[in-house]
A and B are shown apart, each in its own frame.
Chain A
Amino acid sequence: GAGVSQSPSNKVTEKGKDVELRCDPISGHTALYWYRQSLGQGLEFLIYFQGNSAPDKSGLPSDRFSAERTGGSVSTLTIQRTQQEDSAVYLCASSQGQANTEAFFGQGTRLTVV
């Protein structure tokens, strides 16, 4: 498709399990972002990838969170030993990465930790 694709759209997991969330950015976009949106809240920045540069990980809330971007395209956000407070919608976005061009968002993965 032409937009940012995220999978799965919904994920229910038991507390303590690991989860992987996937993001396929728009083809040709060099910048990729992960955000978290808790129920009724704003968007919390998690991590940013730009080309081959070192990612900006300043938003990751704990060492249980990590993300990779393979081949400058697909990204995976991994949450280890999930906790109930990790329940949120995880949004991925991509952009052309030039001078703050607009970011295009996916529809998100709704994660529920039970």
Chain B
Amino acid sequence: AQKVTQAQTEISVVEKEDVTLDCVYETRDTTYYLFWYKQPPSGELVFLIRRNSFDEQNEISGRYSWNFQKSTSSFNFTITASQVVDSAVYFCALSEALRNTDKLIFGTGTRLQVFP
């Protein structure tokens, strides 16, 4: 069965520190998609990235970077030089392309607190 595990419940850092949020997934499918969403205190989930299972190239977007490794079934998210505005709950999610549904299976989230 499909499953997403975010073992870190809460992380606290001081501004300008780098921080990595871990995500481990389980799936039987060879074709799947992985996502990261951010949920700021306002509550609305914000899409950050989507990655398909055939593209293991790491991606960088500004201070954000993602490390996808199929060998360890991980899709980790790193924020470089963190800022107070990065404080939020971050969710990793999995979607399996070959099933008759595009439903997203979410992890339990990691709450990131960045202190000034």
Contact = CB atoms under 8 A, between A and B. Distances in A.
Interface stretch (A66-74, A75-83, A99-107): A99-107
B16 interface: no
Task: State which size class the interface on B falls in.
Answer: 20 to 34
Interface residues of A, number: 28
Contacts of A103: 47, 104
Given A43-B91, A107-B43, A107-B44, A48 B107 contact: no
Interface stretch (B17-25, B71-79, B94-102): B94-102
Given A42-B108, A107-B43, A107-B44, A33 B103 contact: yes
Contact of B43 (A56, A59, A89): A89
B106 interface: yes
A100 B99 CA distance: 11
